[in-house]
Amino acid sequence: MSDQALTYLDANSVATEGPAWLDVRRKAAHASFADAGFPHRRVEAWRYTDLSRLMAKTDWHPAAPHDGAVLVPEGRSNPFSSIASHKLVFVNGFFRQDLSELDGLPEGVEILPLETALERGTKFESAFDANGPEAMAPIAALNTACARDGAVIRLNEGITLEQPVQLIHYTPDGGATVAHTRNVIELGSGASMTLLEAQIGWGGAYLVDRVTNLNLGERASLTHVRLEDEDTDAVHLSTVLGDVASNASYKANTLALGGRAGRLQSALHFTGEGAHAESNTAYLLRETQHLDSTIVVDHAVPGCTSGALAKGVLDDEAIGVFQGKVIVAPHAQKSDAKQMSNALLLSRDAAMNAKPELEIYADDVQCAHGSTIGELDGDALFYLRSRGIEEQTARQMLISAFLGDVLEQISHEVARDALTERATQWFEVKKEGEV
Amino acid sequence: MLEIKDLHASVDGTPILKGISLTIGDGEIHAIMGPNGSGKSTLSNVLAGRENYMITKGSIIYKGKDLTELSIEERASAGIFLAFQYPTEIPGVTTMTFLKTAVNAQRKARGEDELDAVKFLKLVREKAKELKVEEDMLKRPLNVGFSGGEKKRAETLQMSLLQPSLAVLDETDSGLDIDALKIVADGVNRMRAPDRSMIVITHYQRLLDYIVPDHVHVLAKGKIIRSGGKALAAELEASGYTDLTESAA
Ligand SMILES: Nc1ncnc2c1ncn2[C@@H]1O[C@H](COP(=O)(O)OP(=O)(O)O)[C@@H](O)[C@H]1O
Ligand SMILES: [Mg+2]
């Protein structure tokens, strides 16, 4: 039993007065999290990110609905706003119908808030049973016990959704508030869509915790583009738990800029042959920001390919973490897994922790992993400056080039440009700060 | 244009240049020849302002001003251009983007209007054609995977776009076959102008058949040990550097 967890759950868990299938799971999750507590650095999978310490000494309580206008600070707006989309908007974790766009959904497509889906009697038993690997299970339990709302996106077999779906979360209010959201995304066989997700906050000290259960049917395809841009006092957790069936494909590209501390974790599990999953993250940190990017890929069946690439730019005293784990089951021959972490340290006081782990029980596999930690290339900087390019611009060009492997891979052109622009803004803040 | 007096310079604490004096008038081309390791690239890096190259003694006056007071990029905008012996590969930055950024950075620094995308593209296409630089090369990351010849042509292209007042060409001929050498030399010759001076650094006399210098200097062990007219290059070709270097020692 953990007192910290009990106190937290007392204040923030959801009353079990929903549908019976959910109450059972909420109670079990409550008990399991009360027992395990917030993961701390003596838990191997959390040794670089001590969530227990990050959550300590704060009187956490649920965020309240924010009903009025949402005044997003300059430069922090939804980067995908110009893209015609189906859209779900959450503010402080509460669904805002008035800001969302859900008209004209094609046949065979369900996009709605979780709360509404539950009221309609939809069951999400398997999603709420999926706790992911050990590294992520405590957070999944915490989320199950505390999540009030979230997004449900379901595509029937064979549906190709032309417009992307946007999931936008704003956190305008803080003061030790928490918002737990649960997303459930299910794509039937051969269905495909693009998900544009942005988590933007400026409310000060708050916790946002979002768990997304993905279930991709055979030959389904999900492109997932994310921006994580939290207040520099905020703690954020984002967990993706995905099952990927045969010949299905999941591609995630994330730009993470914010937060006092954050953990972006994904557990991707192949359930059928010939599937592909990749999760690529670019993160830019300064001051004492901390970002942990953790991925577990489970090649449980033969013939799947996976990739994880983390590219971090760390300034000041920022700390980056990459933990990548590949599991290849004994019979999962012809698995192909790549994991790479590259960190660019702009300051002597920044630090990077990279931990690759391979658990390979099959022999006919290709697994590559590596990590590099370096500084900006002095020769390249000199070359650019010798052509008249100012030092600051030259640095920015080299850093953008470094991040290109993640950001330029975003297949949705407008989204790609929007996130590239966001990354560029990051330098400009620095520039002003230095003047 | 340029007046170097008794220049001493160290690289990472090791003295390399040991008293170089050189005066270059407007519109002149000076060739600097010398064996490997004599300090030719060091001199060009010192002129461009590379940070770990320390001037320990002497002066460099460029257009009447102390060059050493300018930052790397200020020197570039003031008209100094170094064609690198080994151009740096810069992954992730396309050549075209780089060229546009460089041209406009210099224009801005000089208080001129920046070129818009259309004007810039027209200019690049024109210059690229002269130097037989394929459009495809401009779409590739800067110098990455370029052959030796492509790198040198890319350097020459940059020079012709940036229109410097003082160009330092550091072994721009190395690694080029005779056809490529002619293309590059033609590019350089087209840029000869009464208000533009050049320092042509080379190991071989061959380049100087195409870019005919006004003066030739021989650098050995960080010092200019001989200066003369263009005939000196031919003389060196015949006798080699050995005699000269030994008499300097
Ligand atoms: N970074 C460095 N640190 C110490 N010595 C160097 C460095 N770079 C070059 N040198 C030395 O300086 C001398 C001159 O080099 P360089 O200017 O490149 O000669 P050149 O261009 O004439 O062949 C050589 O002896 C070389 O070994
Ligand atoms: Mg040299």
Q: What is the pLDDT of residues A167-185, one digit of tens each?
A: 999 999 999 999 999 999 9
B45 CA closest ligand 1 atom index: 17
Task: Return the structure tokens found at A302.
Answer: 């033969």
ipTM value for the complex = 0.96
**Contact predicate A134/A241, CB 8 Å:** no
**Ligand 1, atom 18: closest residue by C-alpha:** B41
CB distance B38 to ligand 1 below 6 Å? yes
Backbone angles phi, psi at A67, to 5 degrees: -95, -25
Q: Residue A365's beta-bridge partner residues?
A: none
Q: Which of B10, B17, B32, B42 to mutate to test the pocket of ligand 1 (most atoms within 8 A of CB)?
A: B42
Q: What is the pLDDT of residues B64-75, one digit of tens each?
A: 999 999 999 999
- Average pLDDT taken over every residue of chain A: 95
Q: What is the pLDDT of residues A190-219, one digit of tens each?
A: 999 999 999 999 999 999 999 999 999 999
Alpha helices in A58-119, H assignment, sequence order: 114-119
Which residue's entry shows tokens 């707006």?
Answer: A77
Best residue in B51, B101, B155, B163 for a mutation probing chain A (most A CBs within 10 Å) = B101
pLDDT on residue B57: 96
Q: Which domain holds residue B132?
A: 2-248
The alpha carbon of B33 and the centre of ligand 1 are apart by a number of angstroms equal to 15
Residue B31, classed as helix, strand or coil, is strand
Give the chain A residue nearest B77 (alpha carbons). Answer: A388
Q: Which of B156, B160, B155 minimizes the C-alpha distance to B123? A: B160
Between A434 and A69, the more confident residue is A69
Quickly list DSSP for B118-159. HHHHHHHHHHHHHTT--HHHHHSEETTT--HHHHHHHHHHHH
Q: Which of B10, B33, B41 to mutate to test the pocket of ligand 1 (most atoms within 8 A of CB)?
A: B41
Which residue's entry shows tokens 């204040």?
Answer: A11
Indicate if the pLDDT at residue A433 is higher than 50: no
**Contact predicate B182/B210, CB 8 Å:** yes
pLDDT on residue B24: 97
Indicate if the pLDDT at residue B249 is higher than 60: no
Which residues sit with Cβ closer than 5 angstroms to ligand 2, an ion? Answer: B 40-41, 85
Between chains, do A383 and B49 touch, taking CB under 8 Å as contact? no
Q: Which of B7, B8, B12, B14 to mutate to test the pocket of ligand 1 (most atoms within 8 A of CB)?
A: B14
Indicate if the pLDDT at residue B242 is higher than 80: no
Quickly list DSSP for A208-222. EEEEEEEEE-TT-EE
A389 touches chain B (CB under 8 A): yes
Q: What is the pLDDT of residues A33-55, one digit of tens each?
A: 999 999 999 999 999 999 999 99
Indicate if the pLDDT at residue A434 is higher than 70: no
Instruction: Measure in Å the smallest separation between the Cα of A233 and chain B Cα atoms.
Output: 33
Q: What is the pLDDT of residues A372-418, one digit of tens each?
A: 999 999 999 999 999 999 999 999 999 999 999 899 999 999 999 99
Average pLDDT over residues A289-293: 98
A382 touches chain B (CB under 8 A): yes
Q: What is the pLDDT of residues A57-78, one digit of tens each?
A: 999 999 999 999 999 999 999 9
Instruction: Measure in Å the smallest separation between the Cα of A386 and chain B Cα atoms.
Output: 6
Between chains, do A393 and B50 touch, taking CB under 8 Å as contact? no
CB distance B45 to ligand 1 below 6 Å? no
| Domain parsing of chain A, residue ranges | 3-272, 378-435
Task: Return the structure tokens found at A352.
Answer: 């990077």
The whole-angstrom separation of Cα A255 and Cα A229 is 8
**Contact predicate A270/A21, CB 8 Å:** no
CATH of the domain at B197: 3.40.50.300
B44 CA closest ligand 1 atom index: 17
Residue A109 pLDDT class (50, 70, 90 cuts): very high
Indicate if the pLDDT at residue A428 is higher than 90: no
A400 touches chain B (CB under 8 A): yes
**Ligand 1, atom 7: closest residue by C-alpha:** B11
Number of structural domains chain B divides into:
1
pLDDT on residue A431: 46
Instruction: Measure in Å the smallest separation between the Cα of B248 and chain A Cα atoms.
Output: 33
Between B204 and A45, the more confident residue is A45
**One-letter amino acid identity for B195?**
D
pLDDT on residue A435: 34
Closest ligand relative to B171 C-alpha: 2
B52 CA closest ligand 1 atom index: 1
* CB-nearest partner of A389 from B81, B91, B102: B102
Report the b/e string of A320-353 with b at 16+ CB within 10 A.
bbbbbbbbbbeebeebbbbbbbbbbbbeeebbbb
Sort residue A380 into left (φ over 0), alpha (ψ -120 to 50) or beta. alpha
**Contact predicate B169/B47, CB 8 Å:** no
Average pLDDT over residues A213-228: 98
Indicate if the pLDDT at residue B246 is higher than 60: no
Indicate if the pLDDT at residue B203 is higher than 90: no
* CB-nearest partner of B77 from A388, A393, A404: A388
Judge residue B43's burial from the number of C-beta atoms within 10 Å of its C-beta, 0-12 exposed, 13-18 middle, 19 or more buried. buried
A-chain residues within 8 Å CB-CB of B86? none
CB distance B164 to ligand 1 below 6 Å? no
Best residue in B67, B74, B90 for a mutation probing chain A (most A CBs within 10 Å) = B90
Instruction: Measure in Å the smallest separation between the Cα of B107 and chain A Cα atoms.
Output: 9
Indicate if the pLDDT at residue A430 is higher than 80: no
